[in-house]
Structure 1
């Protein structure tokens, strides 16, 4: 008799996203298993204009400023007042630009703001995912609005975590979020990924990417990870949600590694 009204969630996950960016919550909800809902809180991002417009190349200064207090802390605190199981920080580039130690400090700070609701971040989630899959060598591909310097910082982030980056580059596609075409991304990755790479990581939570994961894994014969995919995987486990996700890569078949003693 009654029509679905969205209240029948088994669990809810929060996401902290740049104020004009609809990409992270769109991809997270698309991948989310039945009964898991995604709820966003918006954080001001100095490089993003009305309508989600961004410059062809995003400068480093607003990237580094994005995770600074108070805006992200206030957004996390408000989001944690809702009945969410975990919160995902959907911003790859700040992890690249500030490094693993600063990202860990950010998560520690946000954990205090959320009063115990776990917060996960994209780059550290990617490292956990690569370790869970037993990957040591990866190809790193980034959005076209990341310049070579920022993509190089991403490579250093992963090298600092003991991984070997055998290839890294922004993808050669139009530098506009709305112009990213899954078919063109699929072709570019197939053409440019080194045979030496044991896995592919596509950075950038604002880049349309999760729809090509399964096709690329089948074609390349190796794991394909994306920013929002690893973020959802970690957020589900951090929230105690051991529920299956189908159609978005082999990552969802493995558990996060246990913390080192």
Structure 2
């Protein structure tokens, strides 16, 4: 008699996302199992304009500014007042720029502003996921709007965490969120990732990528991690909820310990 109305969920996850970026919402909604509610707060991001318009290469200054007080802190405070069990910070590149120590400081700061709720971020989540999968060597693929400097900072982040990174590069596809297709991304990654890496890490929460995880794992025979995939995995764990019902989005949800 009654139609589903979205109220009956087992857990609610909050997400901090750039103001004009629909990528995290789209991908997290696609992956989230029934019974998981997703609730978003938007944070101003200087590299994006109206309608999601973005420069072909994002400036490091805009990346740094996104993670600074007061904008993201205020968003976390407001989101933390909602009945959510954990918050995901859907922005990869600031962790590249600040490194793991700066990322940890940011998460501690946001946790305090969010009334003590756990706050997780994609790079720290990827490190935890890789260790859970027993991976030591990775290939890092970043969005085409990450320049070589930002990509190298990403390589440094994972090397500092103890991983070997035999391959790291921005994706060679056209720079623009709406220009990326699963078919093209699959073909590009499969064509450049060699045998040295035990897993592929695809950075960038605005990078359309979760739809190729299963196909890439079948093609490459190794785990594939993406920014929004690991963010959901980590947020569910932080919220004390299992990942039951997440299907078709990689070995992470079936093999990580």
Which residue matches 2:199?
199
TM-score w.r.t. length of structure 1: 0.96
Note the 1:21-100 alignment, pairs <5 A. 21-100=21-100
Corresponding position of 1:217: 217
Q: Distance in 1 between matches of 2:47 and 2:219?
A: 36
Q: What is the Cα deviation at residue 255 of structure 1? A: 4.8
Is 1:249 the equivalent of 2:250? Answer: yes
Partner deviation per Cα, 1:63-115 (whole Å, 9 max, x = no partner)? 01110000101000100111111100000000011111000000000110111
For residue 25 of structure 1, report the CA deviation from its aligned partner: 1.4
Shift of 1:168: 0.5
- Distance across 2 between alignment mates of 1:239 and 1:78: 18
Distance in 2 separating the partners of 1:34 and 1:6: 10
Residue by residue over 1:147-181, the C-alpha shift from the partner in whole angstroms, topping out at 9 and shown as x without a partner, is 01100000000001001111000111110101110
Q: Which runs of 4+ in 1 moved over 4 A?
A: none
CA shift for structure 1 position 243: 3.1
**In structure 2, distance between residues paired with 1:120 and 1:26:** 19
**In the TM superposition, what are the counterparts of 1:115-134 in structure 2 within 5 Å?**
115-134=115-134
Matched residue SS, 2:144: coil
SS in 2 for 1:26: helix
Q: In structure 1, how many angstroms separate the alpha carbons of the residues matched to 2:194 and 2:53?
A: 32
Any stretches of 5+ residues in structure 2 without a counterpart? none
